[in-house]
């Protein structure tokens, strides 16, 4: 099995890791969120939780996939977990 893939030093504060996980169509962790960093700097961190909900709205346009997310940086977790599952 190949190792996980992680990007480095994205200019706007984003950093992600693509996980090799056979249980999901795609498994990724956002290790650093540029939006969260920007909102914290502008004393508006609470808005990030609302912005994160847009990920579920986006899923309405991907009818064959389901998003499972158990962690978000906006909720104080160390990562935002994105687990995409093919609907059967």
Mean pLDDT of all residues in 41-59: 95
Cβ-Cβ contacts under 8 Å for 72 (sequence gap 6 or more): 49, 52, 80, 81
User: What pLDDT is recorded for position 65?
Assistant: 96
Distance CA 23, CA 37 (A): 31
Q: Which two tokens stand for residue 68?
A: 């499972």
pLDDT in tens, 6-18: 666 677 889 999 9
pLDDT at residue 28 in the model:
96
| Domain positions in the chain | 5-86
**Contact yes or no for 70/64 (Cβ under 8 A):** no
């Amino acid at each position: 099995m190949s190792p996980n893939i992680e990007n480095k030093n994205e200019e706007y504060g984003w950093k992600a890791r693509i996980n090799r996980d056979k249980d999901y169509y795609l498994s990724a962790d956002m290790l650093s969120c540029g939006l969260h960093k920007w909102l914290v700097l502008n004393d508006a961190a609470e808005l990030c939780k609302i912005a994160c909900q847009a990920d579920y709205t986006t899923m309405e346009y991907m009818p064959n996939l389901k998003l499972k997310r158990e962690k978000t940086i906006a909720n104080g977790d160390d990562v935002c977990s994105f687990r995409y599952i093919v609907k059967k």
